[in-house]
Structures are given as C-alpha cells and as structure tokens.
C-alpha cells in the first residue's frame, strides 16, 4: 500500500509540474495497482477467504510476469470492471507505450500536461489519497 500511496503523491507532483510522461506512467501504475487490489478482493469474496493472490502482489525475477494487459483481461473476466472499460484501458495502454518508448519523437509542447488535464487529474489524484 505504501507504493500505491507514493505513486498517488508522485502523480500529484507530476500534475503540479506539468510533467506529461511522468503523469502517464504514474496513472497507469495506479490503475494497475487498483485493479490488482480489486482482483484480490473479488477472489476473496468469491472464495469466502482471506487468501491473497501472491502473483498479483509481488513479482520477483523468478516469478512469471502478470502484465497490465493480463490484469485488464482478468479484471473484466472477474467483473471487477466491464469489458468496455477493459478495451479502453487496452487502447490507452498502447498509446502510453508510444509516449514512453518514443518521447523524443513528440514535440516538446506535447510533453506538457494540458491545463484541463491538470485540473481533472489533480482532482482525481487528491481523491485517491
């Protein structure tokens, strides 16, 4: 949970400073973490247990990777989110990868977080804490 709260605080700082790429990465991380928690809670409700799904909590070098795309798919499959939102997250994931892996191809002005997005993101980041 500390990492989740830390990511939310860093997200707020990215919003305040207009750091678009950092904002995109942190927002994706927070969404991924929230869906992982949702999957664990849904599993606990379904099994009436307090069992934690370790593969969703921790990934060491020897553990199989549970990708964000897999999390979106599983979250929709387990009714944590609907399939429409899962598809939208998948679409945004692809766009995020373009921003992260090719930031130099973007114009410098495209790397600044638009004012409207700052306001919206600031409200969401604040409510996440």
pLDDT tens readout for residues 102-123? 765 654 554 455 554 545 455 4
Average pLDDT of 69-83? 96
Question: What's the pTM value of the predicted model, to 2 decimals?
Answer: 0.76
Domain chopping of the chain, boundaries: 2-128
Q: Which residues pair with 74 in a beta bridge?
A: none
**What is the b/e burial string over 17-50, where b = at least 16 CB atoms within 10 angstroms of the residue's CB?**
eebbbbbbbbbbbbbbbbbbebbbebbeeeeeee
């Amino acid at each position: 949970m500390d990492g989740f709260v830390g990511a939310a605080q860093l997200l707020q700082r990215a919003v305040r400073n207009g750091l678009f790429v950092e904002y995109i990465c942190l927002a994706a991380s927070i969404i991924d973490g929230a869906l992982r928690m949702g999957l664990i809670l849904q599993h606990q409700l379904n099994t009436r247990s307090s069992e934690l799904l370790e593969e969703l909590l921790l990934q060491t070098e020897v553990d199989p990777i549970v990708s964000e795309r897999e999390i979106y798919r599983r979250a929709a499959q387990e009714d944590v989110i609907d399939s429409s939102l899962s598809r939208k997250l998948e679409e945004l994931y692809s766009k995020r990868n373009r921003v992260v892996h090719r930031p130099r191809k973007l114009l410098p002005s495209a790397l600044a977080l638009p004012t409207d997005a700052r306001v919206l993101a600031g409200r969401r980041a604040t409510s996440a804490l």
